[in-house]
Structure 1
C-alpha cells in the first residue's frame, strides 16, 4: 500500500517544476469558463479558452522536449484533447453557434492533469526516423475521431431539441451537425487506415518487430471495422440518427482502448502490481 503511494508520488513529481507550473496554469484557464460560463461575457470566455489552448500546447511540447522524452497513454490523451480544442477553435470562427465550451474545458483540464500524474515511459533513443510521423498519424486519427464524438453528442442534443419542440436558438441546425460529424469520421477513418497500413508494412523498422496480434492491434482493427461499417451504411443505406451515433461511440471507444487502454494497463495497473 505504502509502496504504491510512493510510486504514485514519484510519478506525479516526475515533471520539472516549470512544466508543472505551465500545466497548473493551463488547468486554471480551462476551469475559468466552466465555473463562470453563465456570468462571463462571450469575449472573456474565448480569451480564457485561447490562453488555455496556448498553455496546453506548451505543456505538451515541454513533455516531449524533456530529456529523455516521455510518452504514454496520458500524454496521448492530452494531445488528443488539444487537437479537439484546435478543431473547435476553428469551427467557432466558421459557425459561431457551435456550443461545446463546458465539455471541452473539462476534458482539457483532466487530460493536462493526467499527463502530469502519468507522464509515460522514456522513449527509446534509437528509433526509426519515421516513428514521430507514425505517432502523429495515430494521434491525429484519435483527435478527429474524438471531434466526431463531440459532434455526435451535439447532434443528439439537436435531435432531442427538435423532438421536444424546444425554442433554444443557440444551437446549430441538425443537418449541419450531421454533415460535420461524418466529415470528421471520414477524415479520422482515412488517418486510422494510414496508421494501420504503416504499422503493417513498416512495423519492424518502426518498433523493431513485425506486425503483432496484441490487444492494441485487435482493438484498432475493430475500431476500423466499426467506422468502415458506419461509412458504408451512410453511403449505401442512408444510415443516420441514433444508430449512426451509437456506431461512432463504439468505434471511438474501441480506438480509445487500442492505445490508451493498453498503455494504461502497462503503465499504471502493471506498475502498481510490481510496486
Structure 2
C-alpha cells in the first residue's frame, strides 16, 4: 500500500508547528508562562497555515487525519479564547501535545484529493461536520477538567483549575448543545441533499449509522440534563460515548478505508 504524500510546503509548515507545540508540551515545568504562551501562539498560527494550505492549496485534500487536525486546532482556539477570562486554566501542555500529534498525523496521512467536480456546497457540509467535532471535543476537554477538579475536591486538594466547578459544568453543556446543533444540521444536510453533495442517494453506511447513534446519545444527554438534571459522572459517560461514536463515524470509517484497506472511497 502506497500512502499519499503531503506537499513540501505542508511538511515544512507542519514540522515547524509540531516543533512549536513541543516546546510547551515537553518543557512545561522549565518554561516561563510568557514563553509557553508565545510558543503556543506560534504553533497555532503555523497549524492554521498547514490547514489552509491543505484545503486551499494546489491539490486540496481531506481525510481522517486532516479532520482530526482541524478538530485539535478548534479545541486550541477555544482554549486560547477562554484563557483571556481564566488565565489560570491549566491544560496547555496536554493540548500542545495533542496539537503536535494531530499535525504530524496529518502529514503522514494527508487524505485524498477532493474532486474538482464536487458540489460547491460540499466544503460547507464538511465544515459543519468538523465544527461539530471541534465543539464536542472542547466539551470532552472541559468534562475531563471537571472530573479532575471533582477528584481533587474529594481529596481536599486545591484544584488549580482557575475556573469554578459550576462554570466548567455550564461551559461543558454549552459546547455540547452547540455541537449537537451543528451535528443535527450536518445530518439533515447529508440526508436531504446527498445527491447534490456526493452525486449518489443516501445510504445507511457505517458513517451514517455511527453519526445517528451519536446524535441519539447526545439528544438523550441533553434531554436528561433538561428534564432530570443529569450531571457528574453519568452525564460525562454519555458525553464520552456520544463523542466516541461521532469519532468512529467519519474518522474511524476513513481510517479503515485509507489506511487499513488502502482505498479512497
TM range (shorter): over 0.9
SS in structure 2 opposite 1:218?
Answer: helix
Q: State the shift of 1:94 in Å.
A: 1.5
Q: State the shift of 1:75 in Å.
A: 0.5
Are 1:244 and 2:235 an aligned pair? yes
SS in structure 1 opposite 2:262?
Answer: helix
Question: Which residue of structure 2 lines up, in the alignment, with residue 84 of structure 1?
Answer: 75
Are 1:58 and 2:44 an aligned pair? no
Mapped contact 2:139–2:176 kept (Cα < 8 A)? yes
Question: Which residue of structure 2 lines up, in the alignment, with residue 266 of structure 1?
Answer: 257
Query: Which 4+ runs in 1 deviate beyond 6 A?
Result: none
Q: State the shift of 1:128 in Å.
A: 1.1
CA distance in 2, matches of 1:169, 1:141: 29
Mapped contact 1:158–1:171 kept (Cα < 8 A)? no
Q: What are structure 2's unaligned runs of at least 5 residues?
A: none
**Alignment counterpart, residue 112 of structure 1, candidates 103, 109, 112:** 103
Question: Which residue of structure 2 lines up, in the alignment, with residue 222 of structure 1?
Answer: 213
CA offset digits 1:162-213 (Å, max 9, x no partner): 1111034444221111001000000000000000011111111001112110
Q: What are structure 1's unaligned runs of at least 5 residues?
A: none
Mapped contact 1:158–1:172 kept (Cα < 8 A)? no
Question: Which residue of structure 1 lines up, in the alignment, with residue 122 of structure 2?
Answer: 131
TM-score of the superposition, structure 1-length normalised?
0.93
Mapped contact 2:10–2:50 kept (Cα < 8 A)? yes
CA RMSD of aligned residues (A): 1.2
Question: Which residue of structure 1 lines up, in the alignment, with residue 25 of structure 2?
Answer: 34
CA offset digits 1:118-156 (Å, max 9, x no partner): 011111111111111111100100000000000000010
SS in structure 1 opposite 2:261?
Answer: helix
Question: Which residue of structure 2 lines up, in the alignment, with residue 73 of structure 1?
Answer: 64
Question: Which residue of structure 2 lines up, in the alignment, with residue 186 of structure 1?
Answer: 177
**Alignment counterpart, residue 199 of structure 2, candidates 183, 208, 211:** 208
Are 1:256 and 2:247 an aligned pair? yes
SS in structure 1 opposite 2:226?
Answer: helix
Mapped contact 2:153–2:159 kept (Cα < 8 A)? no
Mapped contact 1:99–1:171 kept (Cα < 8 A)? yes
Mapped contact 2:72–2:102 kept (Cα < 8 A)? yes
TM-score of the superposition, structure 2-length normalised?
0.96
Query: How many pairs were matched up?
Result: 263
CA offset digits 1:42-74 (Å, max 9, x no partner): 111110110000000000111123332111000
Question: Which residue of structure 2 lines up, in the alignment, with residue 153 of structure 1?
Answer: 144
Mapped contact 1:215–1:258 kept (Cα < 8 A)? yes
Q: Structure 2 vs 1, CA of residues 269 and 66 (structure 1 numbering), >3 Å: closer, same or farther?
A: same
CA distance in 1, matches of 2:159, 2:60: 47
CA distance in 2, matches of 1:251, 1:144: 12
